[in-house]
Structure 1
Amino acid sequence: MVTSVPDDVPDVLAPARLGPLTLRNRIVKAATFEGATPDALVTDQLIEYHRRPAAGGVGLTTVAYLAVAPEGRTERRQIWMRPEAVPGLRRLTDAVHAEGAAVSAQVGHAGPVANAASNRRPALAPSRRFSPLGMRTTKAATEADIARITEAHGEAAKLAVESGFDAVEIHLGHNYFASAFLSPKLNRRRDRYGGSLANRAAIARAAARAVRDAVGDRIAVTAKLNMDDGVPGGIWLDESLQLARWLQEDGTVDALELTAGSSLLNPMYLFRGKAPLRQFAATFPQPQRLGVRAFGGRFLIEYPYQEAYLLESARQFRAAVDLQLILLGGIADLATARRAMAEGFDFVAMGRALLREPDLVNRYAAGTSSTSLCIHCNRCMPTIYSGTRCVLVDPAPLRVAPPDRDA
């Protein structure tokens, strides 16, 4: 941790440009699934979830997750982008704008991370494989599926503009649809979407192109990109660096938010710290609860937590591309955010720290705090089933949405 930065380093609390957008500072509320849409439409709870960090001083808050197709949801209570969702989303963006912040829509397709049992539709993947998320076998996406999903990214982006969003974040990480195609482990195809990196990257690039063509320069376009999957045989830095270069050459995105891990195979690789097995198990009925407690450690693998734990990998992207970069992963201290600026990053993204203290950025600006009270216990993670929150602050959900365990 550095204690000072050179005078010419951008001020993390000063206004900054993101594509065509001017943000009041360089701190982004990262997309963290809210668990606040029981009917797959905007609720007052979802609006309040984003209004609070907006009032608390962030430059940009990110709504997660807005699927581009109904089968692209991780479970059926998530919003999917359609005309019926626009009025509620407009209420949300108006509420965020009233607090002086900007707001981004994270769009994408969950692919093999989708819960087929919940969605009552097959989960689409590069290749067939058993998915423990829905206890079903995924369906290998056809070329018609791929074309439809690519086009749906553009249509979702148009609806985001209509809804008043200032930016769109394309989900290219965590082994969701585009990310699964990038993974050599998950993509065993022998057609034009498998084999070489150029083939495996075609969907990610096409989705980004569809979004850019849909919105032009009216709003900012970013992409959440896996640096590595954290899984043997998954994508690694050499390939993800090349994809970053291609996205820059394509001119489709204004910035990359750098992430890691697989929601399908290794989710804790992104979060780091303790895995709240007991709390996750409590969201399941018996006998699954006993199974999660007994064997969940094989899925929720614990990794040591430290500040800016993705920085070492992200440095390689800073050296490789000229795109604006958003540093994610274990950023809770103002000194860490300033360190990111000193190392050439343009923005920092916070998740858990802002769940603990939605007004943290205002505290930074006022000089009353320089570090988050978040203890990285990860007990917020299981609350996605009942309204995502810090349990140390909000022990009970604002509105209970029972876990979706339909078979």
Structure 2
Amino acid sequence: MTPPMTSAGASAGRLFSPLQVGNVTLRNRIVSPPHGTYFAEDGLVSRRQLDYYETLARGGVAMIVTGSWAVWPRTMPNALTNRATDPRAVAGHTRLAEAVHAHGSILVAQLHESGRQGNTAAHRGPLLAPSPLPDPVVREVPKEMERSEIDDLVDHYVRSAEALRAAGWDGVEILAAQGYGPAQFLSPQMNHRTDEYGGSPAGRSRLLRTILACIRASVGPDWLVGVRMNGSDCVEGGAGPEQAVVLAETLAGSGHVDYLSISGASNEAYPLWIADMSHAPGLFVDLAARVRASVSLPILVATRITSPEQAEQILTAGAADMVGMVRALIADPGLPLKAQRGASTEIRPCIGANQGCIGRVLSGASMRCTVNPRVGEPRLPQRSIQARRVVVVGAGPAGLEAAVTAAEVGHRVTLLERAPHIGGQIALAARVPSRAEFGRILTFLEAELARTGVEVRLDRPAEVSAVRDLAPDEVILATGSRPIRTGFSTAFPGRDVLPGHDQDHVLPAVDVFSRPEAVGRRVVVLDDDPHGHATTVAELLAPDHDVTLVCRSISAGQWSGPANQIALYSRLQRAGVRILAATWASAVGDAEVLCHPTHAPQDVFAVPADTVLLATGNCVVDDLYPALRNELPDVAVRRVGDCLAPRLLDQAFWDGHQAALAIGREP
């Protein structure tokens, strides 16, 4: 774990010193590590991929390691991932190498085989693994690999490396971490073989060593070959830090490897290598330091390295030679150059929300970013802007993004906010320790308002007269949403209201921030909420209250998605929150809530409660919209964020960004 982040500049330290790795020289120590973008088209490099990786290179990153380049068809979960060896892929691979090299970055492909952590939807055959043990997330029993299948897999790794070398790439990285493919052979918990590919550390590493030896024999000594490996499997029965050091020494001694990239965990601790904002920064830094102390190879470390200052601390402490900043570079691909010129306050920060990046990928969609709506979008052609007078009403995330973007492209922007501060709902959420990084994006946006010249007027209620007096050419409404206070749930649409919802001790969940004195000791939170209000207030209150979370769904916090839900559950349980899943309320009494299983409404039981908090969704606050349309018929009025429809944070940023780009066009 890294020390706490400071505001010290990184531009003059080790972060921007060159580094020799194998036969290439990195211009600095910042790496974009592998991550699945789902930008491919039919498994081939797309225009969107070219734009994405070229933007990273233009922003100053030293090395890009592309993620999920499938070594054989079995690895392909769908057509949105890339094929390494398909002859049709050659032209795209060549164009990608040329685009990245044009901006001075090194390009490496991570060669990927999923093993039991794969997906059989595309090829319909069985998953292949060292032993027939199902993955805890995928939950499909794999076929134990036979010797011929192992030989075939090794051959595909070699062919993949040869294809990328021929296309002008600088190297490959073998994914042998996070429970994928070769990592399953390395793990005593996953590999129960008794032949030459199991049994002992040497046997379990045989597949990886064979892949590396065969690739090196094919590509020669001067082409870059790296390995991503675990510093620890982070699971009982898996390989720990001591075994990681032994493996690192073995790989370094082979002469086939130019660098090691240190990660950790597997699906048993999923997805720790994509840890959300509730986790401490630099989860695997200490593990990387142990490996670095044992070998002379350059060491890369990644996961929750979110700022240049933190990266500099890691390098200065001698924990690693390179820093992988996946999500930080997604949030702002210009991070390296901004940090190098001392403009860290202009870096759009990653907040570890995991909604737009891994959250979308896990849903089968292509990657985006919660706080950077430009990711994955085509580069817009430069066009002349006729500056317009724009009024943005509401300084939540949608309004802030709209105001900053509109000002950046040349419009004159005034931002009105009824509260004495900016931020809307995320300003409240940032007060919960595990959600504190919401504050980082607000700090950035506040600085951007000043940098781009937005006129900010706080304590200004949203009134027609206030907008009219500014004589706008266009108006963007970001007036948000308000809690639904009736207790209505779509699980029981025949109940228009929850009996007892209008009692004094029944409050909207968000009221705990403004009225903490109104919350009694025994709290019941009713969770039918797509936004995270219920779990957020439950976590906030748990240290000083007896909290019961009643969830109509089969689990709490489904808003968080598979990338965050396990961590959320762990925090709630550690805090002592009692979770009643697949349960709902039939009535609120004076000192209790009558509940029942969602599938058995007749089985009613009582849960004691001094305070009942409703987290049953929000409704739009758009009263100003028809009034402005009537009062200012010649002025374009656009709604964004929750004012348009209450949704998640990434959609608020997207709405605000798109509305700003649409200024001057028909609404």
TM (normalized to structure 1)? 0.84
- 1:358-377 → structure 2 map (5 Å cutoff): 358-369=333-344, 373-377=349-353
Q: 1 CA distance for matches of 2:44 and 2:169?
A: 16
Q: 2 CA distance for matches of 1:266 and 1:196?
A: 24
Tell me if 1:383 matches 2:360: yes
The amino acid of 1:381's aligned partner reads I
Q: CA deviation at 1:121?
A: 2.5
| Residue from 40, 43, 48 that aligns with 2:46 | 43
Contact 2:26 2:63 in 1 (8 A): yes
Q: CA deviation at 1:80?
A: 2.3
Tell me if 1:206 matches 2:180: no
Contact 1:173 1:225 in 2 (8 A): yes
Contact 1:34 1:49 in 2 (8 A): no
Percent identity between the two aligned chains: 30
Q: 1 CA distance for matches of 2:123 and 2:137?
A: 11
Q: 2 CA distance for matches of 1:77 and 1:132?
A: 24
Structure 2 residue aligned with 1:31: 34
1:236-292 C-alpha deviation (Å, 9 max, x unpaired): 111111110000110111110100121x33222212225xxxxxxxxxxxxxxxxxx
Q: 1 CA distance for matches of 2:21 and 2:171?
A: 9
Q: Secondary structure at the match of 1:45?
A: helix
Contact 2:354 2:370 in 1 (8 A): no
Q: 2 CA distance for matches of 1:394 and 1:121?
A: 38
- 1:30-109 → structure 2 map (5 Å cutoff): 30-82=33-85, 83-109=87-113
| Residue from 295, 305, 309 that aligns with 1:321 | 295
Q: 2 CA distance for matches of 1:257 and 1:166?
A: 16
Structure 2 residue aligned with 1:293: none
Structure 2 residue aligned with 1:174: 178
Q: 2 CA distance for matches of 1:93 and 1:376?
A: 29
The amino acid of 1:40's aligned partner reads G
Q: CA deviation at 1:18?
A: 1.2
Structure 2 residue aligned with 1:160: 164
Structure 1 residue aligned with 2:311: 337
The amino acid of 2:182's aligned partner reads A
1:105-151 C-alpha deviation (Å, 9 max, x unpaired): 11131111110123322211011133466663211110111111112
Residues 155 and 342 (structure 1), Cα distance of their counterparts in 2 relative to 1, 3 Å cut: same
Across the aligned residues of Structure 1 and Structure 2, the Cα RMSD in angstroms comes to: 2.3
Q: CA deviation at 1:340?
A: 2.1
| Residue from 354, 368, 371 that aligns with 1:392 | 371
The amino acid of 1:206's aligned partner reads T
Contact 2:130 2:184 in 1 (8 A): yes
Contact 2:6 2:310 in 1 (8 A): no
Q: CA deviation at 1:395?
A: 8.2
Q: Which has the higher contact order (CA 8 A, sep 6+)?
A: 1
Structure 2 residue aligned with 1:405: none
The amino acid of 2:358's aligned partner reads M
Structure 2 residue aligned with 1:277: none
Q: 2 CA distance for matches of 1:132 and 1:3?
A: 39
Q: CA deviation at 1:361?
A: 0.7
The amino acid of 1:114's aligned partner reads G
Residues 198 and 381 (structure 1), Cα distance of their counterparts in 2 relative to 1, 3 Å cut: same
Q: 1 CA distance for matches of 2:296 and 2:125?
A: 40
The amino acid of 1:393's aligned partner reads N
Residues 357 and 136 (structure 1), Cα distance of their counterparts in 2 relative to 1, 3 Å cut: same
Residues 133 and 329 (structure 1), Cα distance of their counterparts in 2 relative to 1, 3 Å cut: closer
Range that drifts further, 215-224 or 46-55: 215-224
Contact 1:127 1:187 in 2 (8 A): yes
The amino acid of 1:332's aligned partner reads T
The amino acid of 1:162's aligned partner reads A
- 1:283-302 → structure 2 map (5 Å cutoff): none
Contact 2:234 2:264 in 1 (8 A): yes
Q: 1 CA distance for matches of 2:316 and 2:375?
A: 40
Q: 1 CA distance for matches of 2:231 and 2:78?
A: 25
- 1:90-169 → structure 2 map (5 Å cutoff): 90-131=94-135, 136-169=140-173
Q: Secondary structure at the match of 1:137?
A: coil
Q: CA deviation at 1:165?
A: 0.8
- 1:227-376 → structure 2 map (5 Å cutoff): 227-262=231-266, 264-273=267-276, 304-344=278-318, 345-369=320-344, 373-376=349-352
Q: Secondary structure at the match of 1:230?
A: coil
Q: CA deviation at 1:3?
A: 6.1
Q: CA deviation at 1:17?
A: 1.3
The amino acid of 2:273's aligned partner reads L
| Residue from 184, 187, 199 that aligns with 2:188 | 184
Q: CA deviation at 1:191?
A: 1.4
Q: CA deviation at 1:393?
A: 1.9
The amino acid of 2:323's aligned partner reads V
Which structure 1 residue ranges, 5 or more long, are not aligned? 275-303, 400-407
Q: 2 CA distance for matches of 1:225 and 1:396?
A: 28
Q: CA deviation at 1:77?
A: 3.6
Q: 1 CA distance for matches of 2:126 and 2:214?
A: 24
Contact 1:124 1:141 in 2 (8 A): yes
Tell me if 1:218 matches 2:222: yes
Q: 1 CA distance for matches of 2:276 and 2:51?
A: 28
Q: Secondary structure at the match of 1:316?
A: helix
Q: Secondary structure at the match of 1:119?
A: coil
The amino acid of 1:260's aligned partner reads G
The amino acid of 2:309's aligned partner reads A
Residues 224 and 159 (structure 1), Cα distance of their counterparts in 2 relative to 1, 3 Å cut: same
Contact 1:38 1:77 in 2 (8 A): yes
Size of the alignment, in residue pairs?
367
Q: CA deviation at 1:66?
A: 1.0
Residues 76 and 144 (structure 1), Cα distance of their counterparts in 2 relative to 1, 3 Å cut: farther
Which structure 2 residue ranges, 5 or more long, are not aligned? 379-667
Contact 2:162 2:219 in 1 (8 A): yes
The amino acid of 1:342's aligned partner reads T
Q: 1 CA distance for matches of 2:56 and 2:261?
A: 19
Structure 2 residue aligned with 1:11: 14
1:197-250 C-alpha deviation (Å, 9 max, x unpaired): 111111111111122222223321111111112222222111111110000110
